[in-house]
Amino acid sequence: QKEVEQDPGPLSVPEGAIVSLNCTYSNSAFQYFMWYRQYSRKGPELLMYTYSSGNKEDGRFTAQVDKSSKYISLFIRDSQPSDSATYLCAGYGNNRLAFGKGNQVVVIP
Amino acid sequence: DADVTQTPRNRITKTGKRIMLECSQTKGHDRMYWYRQDPGLGLRLIYYSFDVKDINKGEISDGYSVSRQAQAKFSLSLESAIPNQTALYFCATSDTGAQETQYFGPGTRLLVL
């Protein structure tokens, strides 16, 4: 079992819709949880990170972590075509990052 | 200028050839990492280095070696390339005080024929 599970299925949404992405993890040592965004032919860039459980909001993006259920979520409000990218969730513990497989998101104008 | 650079950006090589991928950073970070990314498998850690004298294997180090020539430089070598090493390779860095936050380079696309 991978430490971070992310259903890699692509997601297409119309512009303005809410995008909801989810991951689960198995390593109880994880204290930090990240979302990276990766545009085609580019390296991943850190989008948001959360320490322990709770919510964090940054503009149109909200990250949620529920450590009791080992669940990580990312919500994108008022999605834009420029949000079209692959989104990778990750957990940090034991001196390393463990990534999910990534979700490709396409926002259709 | 980019904080984390990788060379080459694209490379085609043949089975059995030795190849080196290079990474340089201007962020002043102590920690550097090499990952590979494959469709359907995500990012997997190959090697990581906490400083020039500290190098550690990741989850998929077989067939790879690394060299940390300086704080700012971390190279990945494939001693004898094989086709299943065809992948996208990323270098990343992090600061010891914020080790959970990693910054990635633009990647090297490697094709082994």
* pLDDT number for residue B97: 76
* pLDDT number for residue B42: 86
The answer, yes or no, to whether residue A9 has pLDDT greater than 90, is no
* pLDDT number for residue A8: 74
Cα separation values, B24 from A38, B64, B65, B72, Å: 20, 18, 17, 5
Answer whether B43 sits within 8 Å of A99, measured CB to CB.
yes
Give A-chain residues touching B102 at CB under 8 angstroms. Answer: 46, 97
The answer, yes or no, to whether residue B21 has pLDDT greater than 60, is yes
* pLDDT number for residue A105: 96
The answer, yes or no, to whether residue B34 has pLDDT greater than 90, is yes
Q: Is B90 on the interface with A (CB under 8 A)?
A: yes
Find the residue in A nearest to B102 (Cα): A46
The answer, yes or no, to whether residue B1 has pLDDT greater than 60, is no
Mean pLDDT, rounded, for A16-38: 94
Give B-chain residues touching A32 at CB under 8 angstroms. Answer: 100
Mean pLDDT, rounded, for A55-66: 95
B contact residues 17-76, partner A, Cβ 8 Å cutoff: 40-45, 48, 58
Give B-chain residues touching A101 at CB under 8 angstroms. Answer: 40-42
Q: Is A108 on the interface with B (CB under 8 A)?
A: no
Percent of chain A with pLDDT over 90: 82
Mean pLDDT, rounded, for B1-10: 89
Return the exposure string of B69-102: e unless at least 16 CB atoms fall within 10 Å of the residue's CB, then b. eebbebbbebeebeeebbbbbbbbbbeeeebbbb
Q: Where are the beta strands (DSSP E) in B1-113?
A: 4-7, 10-13, 19-25, 31-38, 42-51, 54-57, 64-70, 73-78, 87-95, 98-104, 108-112
